[in-house]
Every structure is written in C-alpha cells, then in structure tokens.
Structure 1
Amino acid sequence: MAEAEFSMKRIGVVETCYPEKFGIPRQPGLVKSARGKVVFDEAFKNPDMIRGLEGFSHIWLVFVFHEAGEKPGRAMVRPPRLGGNERRGVFATRAPYRPNSIGLSVVELESIGEDGSLYLKGVDLVDGTPLLDVKPYIPFCDAVPDARGGFVSGVPETMEVIWGCEQPEDPEALEVIEESLAYDPRPAYKRDEEEREYGCAIAGYELRWQVRAGIATVLKCHPQQK
C-alpha cells in the first residue's frame, strides 16, 4: 500500500496563561488553576457543533506542537521523569518532537461562553496553540484505573515556593504561578545547578526565580510589558 498523506484544518486556538514554553506543566491537570480558553475559528463557530458538550466535565484537546520547530521526529528522547539522562523511544513518551507534531490533553471544561468559547482548567499548552479537534472525555472507557504507567509512575513531587519580592495582587495569578513553579519546570539535566536563576512568564507576569535546597524562591515579579 502506498504511503498516504493527510491534511488537517485548524478549528481554532487555545488561549492560555502561558505565553512561552518554559514554565508550562509537563502534563495536563497538574496545575489545576491554569486556565485557558478555546476560541473557534469563524468556520467552526456554529453552535450546533458543541451542542451537548455542556454535559461533560472534561474534554480532550487534539492540538499541534507548533513551537516544536522543524526538527525531524527523533527515534529516542530523554524524558524529564528519568532525570534527562536516560533515553526512551519517542512512541513511549509524550515528547513534542514526533513524526507528526500532534499532542493530546485532557482538561476540565469549566464553562461555555455565549459566543461558544470553551473555558478550561488544568491546561498544559502554550498560548496560541493551534487546535485540531475537541472530543468529550468519557469516564467509563477513557479512565483505566488498573493501567500500568511504565517508567512514569506516581504523581511528580512538588517544591515549596516562597517569595523574596512583592507578590501579585491578583489571587488567580498568584495561585497559578505558585502551582506552576512547585512542579519545577527546570530542565531535568540542570536541576543540580542550584545557584542559577531562571526567568519565565506566567499569567501576565515576568518572573525571576531560583531553587535552593529544594525550595523555589521568586526573586523578581512584575507585570509583562504589552
């Protein structure tokens, strides 16, 4: 059989509180306060297309890793859960560098706007992520309580987050910043560099922070320049 080529249409974008890749949680649902919104393209704003979706608490997002670059799909990658030192096959991971740069996340559907936008919680996507499809999460068949997780077992450990500067006045921004940093977004191979400062943008704020003795300290925090 000849090799097939497929084309897909973008149906919309996902707006999130993460304007850049660094700082995003590595899995959906870890940072429950991380909010986002699906904004459908004009061709897909037909209210009939989401009729009945309001009855589901969670949905699947099928999206494109649009910031993965033009790097070809790698056969082996270094999963963060293994410290960034061991390799596994790309099909045994959720790495963005894949033969087809397609991702899949299950998120909480918080509400549906009057314009048909979908308001989400627990997102793990960069702002502006192209969306290919939305599907309802169906508990009886999508949840497998006795499934084996391979080398990915247990919930990731979290760090304490403290402030060495003034905190945001916005309580929602404060919550998502602290939850995001608690899961340690540093590259796994740099986690022994405790004196190093890191910078990232989350929920409308530019941050500088570092980790010492397993505690993340926010050193600087100011609103992003628009």
Structure 2
Amino acid sequence: MTRPLHSMESHSVQPIGYIESDFPDKFGVPRQPGLAAAARASLILVPPYDDPLAVRGLEAFSHLWLTFVFHHSPARWTPLVRPPRLGGNAKVGVFASRSTHRPNRLGQSLVKLSRIDIGGVDIGGNDDRARVRLALTGCDLISGTPVLDIKPYLPWAEALPDARAGYAPAPPPQLAVRFSAAAEATLATRADAASLRELIRQVLAQDPRPAYRKGAEERLYGVRLRDVDVRFRSLDDDGMPMMEVVEIVPA
C-alpha cells in the first residue's frame, strides 16, 4: 500500500521554553515524574511564546503535561532497550518503554503547577528578565531541558486506575535513607535545609544507581542536587538494603 506523500513529510519544532531545576545532571533524576515531590523547577518561556496571553487561564489547572526533548541523550536509537524495572537485563521494544533513547528523543512529563510569575522576573542576576515563568514541583527534568509544548492535565480523561501497566504495575519500592552526623551538620547550615533534606531522601529512596549495581555495597556514589554534591552508599540493614548519606559538599 502506498503511503500518502503528506504522511511522510518531516516537521520542524522549536522549544517554547527551557527548564531550570534541582537536577543539574542526569544521574539521580527520578525515573518518573511525581516520585520526588520535593523537586522544584521552573519553566521559563522564551520569545515569542512568553506572551502572558499564552498562559491566560492556566492557573486554573493544578497539573500540566510537558512535552520535551531528551537533549542529553544520543540521537541514535535501537529497537530494543533494557528497562531498569526488569533489572537491566531483559529487553523490550523501545515503544513498550519510556527509555530516553527514542527515535525523536521526545519525552512527556506530568508536573504540578505551583505558581505563574508574569512580568520582569529575574532569572539570572545579570539583568536577564523572563516575561513568563511557571513554578513547578514533582519535576523529573534536568536543567536546560528544552520544552516543546504545555497542555493542561484533565484527571477525568487521563486518570485510568484500571488500566494495565505491564511490567511496571506499581511505583518502585522505597528504601530507607539515613543521614550521617556530618551530613546533618551541613544541612543545619543551610536556609533550605528542610526542603533539601526531603529532596535527598526522596531521590535516594528510589535507589538511583544503575540496575546492574543494585544490591548492598559500600561503594561511594555522588549525585548533584541543587548546588551540592550528595555522596552516598548502599548498606545492608539486617538483610535489607538502605541508603546512607555520607556527606554533602558544594558542587
């Protein structure tokens, strides 16, 4: 069967804005949105999409769908991928996964809208001004992520509790997280101590290590969150793995 020519046309897209978030790097980013509710982010719209008229009425919605580009992922893709949920060994088709290694590197994220700032918002301290900034929480996007579109989330249309979820039927298990005395001492010096502590706990509870590294081991890892490097390790607690924050140092 011959495809209509118009169905094979290529389409160009351009970002409407970009993300500033608590995640400077890919490592440690939650694998799904909402798993780290303490994660803060901003979507800063760029001209000509920063017209305040473009977000009129958006404040009436609590959650948004963001379509974005996995800009730190390679352009190459393969038909089979290894989902972390399957231990990093079993393979499924790329279209049966949420892998970042996709043909067009497109992603979709459901985030909570906390606030809309309009008009002359300082975004860098160098006379940079943003006409429209959306304050978000529960975000799973790294800083610099290009955003292509925004759509309001409609729970009556898009929340389907009886839908099948394949090999990911439930949220990932949460590990216990403890903080060393040195880490607690560092947190005590920060104005954002409470929110940073909760962000660290939520990120490490999901065990951000690569799937092939899972299991208790005392190797030291580092994950960048906000402006710090959080150094942690996995320990065995009566047969159960747990995470220990060893130290928190400036990134």
Decide: shared fold, TM above 0.5.
yes
Query: What is the percent sequence identity of the aligned residues?
Result: 41
The residue aligned with 1:28 is 33
SS of corresponding position for 2:118: coil
The residue aligned with 1:82 is 86
The residue aligned with 2:145 is 129
Residues 20-59 of structure 1 mapped to structure 2, 5 A cutoff: 20-59=25-64
Contact 2:183 2:245 in 1 (8 A): no
Do structure 1's residue 220 and structure 2's residue 247 form an aligned pair? yes
- AA at the equivalent of 1:222: V
Aligned length: 223
SS of corresponding position for 1:114: strand
Do structure 1's residue 166 and structure 2's residue 183 form an aligned pair? yes
Contact 1:11 1:133 in 2 (8 A): yes
Residues 1-226 of structure 1 mapped to structure 2, 5 A cutoff: 1=3, 2=5, 3-70=8-75, 72-115=76-119, 116-164=132-180, 165-167=182-184, 168=187, 169=190, 170-192=193-215, 194-213=217-236, 214-224=241-251
Larger Rg: 2
Q: Can you give the 5+ residue segments of structure 2 that lack an aligned partner in the other structure?
A: 120-131
- AA at the equivalent of 1:37: S
Q: Can you give the 5+ residue segments of structure 1 that lack an aligned partner in the other structure?
A: none
Q: How many Å apart are 1:192 and its aligned residue?
A: 3.0
CA deviation vs aligned residue, 1:133-170 (integer Å, no higher than 9, x gap): 00000111111121000111111111111112233232
Taking the aligned partners of 2:65 and 2:71, their CA distance within structure 1 comes to 18
SS of corresponding position for 2:198: helix
In the superposition, the TM-score normalised over structure 2's length comes to 0.86
Q: How many Å apart are 1:203 and its aligned residue?
A: 2.1
In the superposition, the TM-score normalised over structure 1's length comes to 0.95
Contact 1:176 1:203 in 2 (8 A): no
Taking the aligned partners of 2:35 and 2:216, their CA distance within structure 1 comes to 24
- AA at the equivalent of 2:55: I
Taking the aligned partners of 1:39 and 1:206, their CA distance within structure 2 comes to 25
Q: How many Å apart are 1:4 and its aligned residue?
A: 2.0
Q: How many Å apart are 1:173 and its aligned residue?
A: 1.3
SS of corresponding position for 1:66: coil
Taking the aligned partners of 1:17 and 1:176, their CA distance within structure 2 comes to 9
Q: How many Å apart are 1:187 and its aligned residue?
A: 0.7
SS of corresponding position for 1:113: strand
4-13 or 165-174, which moves further after superposition? 165-174
The residue aligned with 2:123 is none
User: Alpha carbon RMSD of aligned pairs, Å?
Assistant: 1.1
SS of corresponding position for 1:69: coil
Q: How many Å apart are 1:114 and its aligned residue?
A: 2.6
> After the TM superposition, which parts of structure 1 deviate over 3 Å for at least 4 consecutive aligned residues?
none
